[in-house]
Chains A and B, each alone.
Chain A
Amino acid sequence: MTGEGPTEKQVVVIGGGPAGLTAGYELTKFDLRPVVLEKEGLVGGLARTESYKGFHFDMGGHRFFTKVEEVRKMWHDVLGGEFLRRPRLSRIYYNGKYFFYPLKPLNALFGLGFWQSVLIVLSYIRWQLFPYRREDTFEQWVTNRFGRRLFLTFFKTYTEKVWGISCSELKAEWAAQRIKDLSLKTALLSMFFKPKTTIKTLIEEFDYPRLGPGMMWNAVKSEIERRQGEVRLKSDVVGIKRTGNRIEAVVARRDGLEEIIRGTDFISSMPVTGFIKALDPPAPPAVLNAAARLSYRDFLTVVLIVNKPQIFDDNWIYIHDPSVHVGRIQNFKNWSPDMVPDPTQTSLGLEYFCTEGDAVWTMADADLIEMGRREIDRIGLARYEDVVDGCVVRVEKAYPVYDSDYAEYLSVVREFIDGLENCQTIGRNGLHRYNNQDHAMLTGMLAVRNLVLGQKNDLWSVNTDAEYHEEIREQVTDHDLEEVLEGALTQVFLKLDRVAMGLSFGLTAGALLFLATLALVLKGGHVGPNLGLLGQYFPGYTVTAAGSVLGLLYGFASGFVVGWTVAFLRNATVFLYMAVVHRRAELQALRRLLDYF
């Protein structure tokens, strides 16, 4: 294969993270023998498990739950009984106090104090009545939904720690992405079906590999190799050779030596910016420029080993307090007891969000550990002197940044990549899309189906939204029933045509009055003294032949008004109802907003 022209379908997968390894694993199911190239010395990418003196740590914390059945099946096929079912507890540390997360109203009330709570409620009402007219920024978007005080208390500091830019500069799209596609159907269904206990379970409990997510990816690597595939570690792709719209080979640097690896098809999960930059001959200048404008946020984890068997019950704690730099603290032992070799000790992961090359990123490991010790002591989670050891792990390109122009630049890059005949990009960084592990895996699966089965799955549209919103859909057990209900509910909630309703009411009322009057006239005798009372409302109306015609007109006019009003009020009520349903669903999703980081 190396250095020779391929004789059969030979797929090269760039990246040994969840997306790349899943693609490799799926390819072996079709009796193909992919070559997976991983830059680092271990597999897992952003979901790898690092180790230090027998302590294992997960970069960022990866809960294993998904609504994607194929992904769930793969996890259990690969790891089987190695999963633990773990309880989820996470809190926010702010102003010296802890708040449950997702937020619980009573807990927040007691934590913040009575007056602060009153001010938050007043602020919420004020922003509901007089919201920002435009929702361009994250600050405006959250303020319009939670009120300014709650935004300042629970969202501003942490969001700015994560992204490193002011909330007034961060695009609203990042938060809105998870909410805006909430469908009418989903919102309606959520009102008609109570959540099943499994939904609660997903939020309060999760599966976790006994030795962290890296255990999963090591097992996938072994499985690929068992099926004659290849996973090459420390193989950094530094060049991608193309002829027109076809990729011919990649250049991988390993131990200082460069090697050309040819293939018939390529799947890349490497950062899309690096992918474009590595092309030879180079991509058009507009594409190169667009790719260069896409940016990432990085983070590093300072692992502290503490001489205490138990420190706190949370899996992780969000640190909103602006007095310290740390953004989130993981307690690895609470993810899995096997992550710690000595039960008398605990390992904590202090996550510092930064940008490659900045002051935090370039700080010496010893200084970072010292800063971590001081901050953990200051927060009061552990005493300075109880920290006995530590190490630092840096994670590059952890979060694709959704800044003001990213969508425009990404569309240029996407158009170019879509034009490549034998190459697909997958995963969080391959698509520059905020996909979680399961959706990154799904892009790998779909890419293989496109390649082998000739399907036309749009990998760019696999997005993170489905995860939580799909929970609502899952509540209906019978899929067919769900489809039927969705259709019926959608029909019911269509608006009434006001004019058509007015016309039908008017014509019917006019005809009825006309016929009733005429019937009495034809009957003769003492003609209709009671029906004649309508003349008090309809000037000129009498129970006569001429009056019947006038009655027709009056009946039509008044019926039209009534019909139009009925339709208007009904539509307004449905609209208000829908607005309330949508807002409730938005707030539900927003309550878990921090989980999306």
Chain B
Amino acid sequence: MADEKRLLERMALTRALHLNATVQGVVTGLVTGLAIFIATNWLVLKGGEVVGPHLALLGQFLIGYRVTFAGSLVGFAYGFTGGYLVGYVVAGMYNWAAHRRERKRLGHV
């Protein structure tokens, strides 16, 4: 039993965490989508003569996006999709690199 515990602790000290790419993608997507959604609606509710000139620049990349309520929904969709891709890719690349480094440390490569 003591050996099992030591094994566990050694594992915690030497092994690297591997990320779940889908979960990472969903989380990053939701955070990005919500950030654009909230930021857009904040400016819409705030109002004024020219609403959100700087945030509107996102429209250069996100076709159809504007600083309006409808635009916030479009922005959420773009944000979620883009965020999901970024999160998924980051996690995937991290896992790939971490796995290679771990194998190297353990002498398999």
Contact = CB atoms under 8 A, between A and B. Distances in A.
Contacts of B17: 491-492, 494-497
A507 B5 contact: no
Contacts of A512: 86
Contacts of B12: 184, 490, 493-495
A107 to B, nearest CB: 34
A505 interface: yes
B50 interface: no
A505 B90 contact: yes
B11 A520 contact: no
Contact of B61 (A183, A184, A516): A516
A504 interface: yes
Contact of A183 (B5, B89, B96, B98): B5
A477 to B, nearest CB: 21
B16 interface: yes
A60 to B, nearest CB: 27
A561 interface: no
A499 B98 CA distance: 8
B8 interface: yes
Contact of B101 (A183, A495, A500, A530): A500
A184 B15 CA distance: 14
A497 B99 CA distance: 9
B69 to A, nearest CB: 24
Interface centre among B8, B12, B101 (most CB of A within 10 A): B12
A499 B97 contact: yes
Interface in A322-365: none
A503 B16 contact: no
Contact of B2 (A181, A185, A503): A181
A496 B54 CA distance: 36
A508 interface: yes
10 contacts: A185-B5, A185-B8, A494-B12, A495-B16, A496-B16, A499-B101, A501-B94, A504-B91, A505-B90, A508-B90
Contacts of A501: 94
Contacts of B92: 504
A461 interface: yes
B11 A497 contact: no
B106 interface: no
Contacts of A528: 60
A81 B13 CA distance: 50
A494 B20 CA distance: 13
A463 B18 CA distance: 35
Contact of B1 (A461, A499, A516): A461
A432 B93 CA distance: 54
A492 B16 CA distance: 10
B54 A530 contact: yes
B70 interface: no
Interface centre among B54, B61, B91 (most CB of A within 10 A): B61
A523 interface: yes
A492 B101 CA distance: 19
A493 B18 CA distance: 11
* A interface SS class: helix
A476 interface: no
B89 A508 contact: yes
B90 A497 contact: no
A497 B94 CA distance: 8
A519 interface: yes
Contacts of A463: 2
Interface string A539-558: 00000000000000000000
A585 to B, nearest CB: 13
B9 A500 contact: no
A53 to B, nearest CB: 46
A437 to B, nearest CB: 20
A4 B18 CA distance: 66
Nearest to B105: A497
A500 B8 contact: no
Interface in A427-472: 461, 463, 466
A183 B90 contact: no
A266 B68 CA distance: 87
A184 B8 CA distance: 7
Contact of A503 (B13, B91, B97, B102): B97
Nearest to A503: B97
Contacts of A492: 17
Given A497-B16, A516-B61, A519-B61, A504 B8 contact: no
A181 to B, nearest CB: 5
Contacts of A183: 5, 8-9
A523 B16 contact: no
Contacts of B101: 497, 499-500
A520 B8 contact: no
Nearest to A520: B60
A410 to B, nearest CB: 16
A113 to B, nearest CB: 41
B93 A507 contact: yes
Nearest to A511: B89
Given A503-B93, A507-B93, A497 B98 contact: yes
Nearest to A458: B1
A507 B93 CA distance: 9
Given A494-B16, A496-B16, A503 B5 contact: no
Contacts of B98: 497, 500
A523 B60 CA distance: 9
Given A496-B16, A497-B98, A497-B102, A490 B8 contact: yes
Interface string B81-95: 000001001111111
Contacts of A490: 8, 11-12
Nearest to A525: B60
A73 to B, nearest CB: 21
Contacts of A461: 1-2
Nearest to A578: B12
A508 B86 contact: yes
Given A184-B9, A500-B101, 6 more contacts: A463-B2, A466-B1, A500-B95, A501-B94, A519-B61, A528-B60
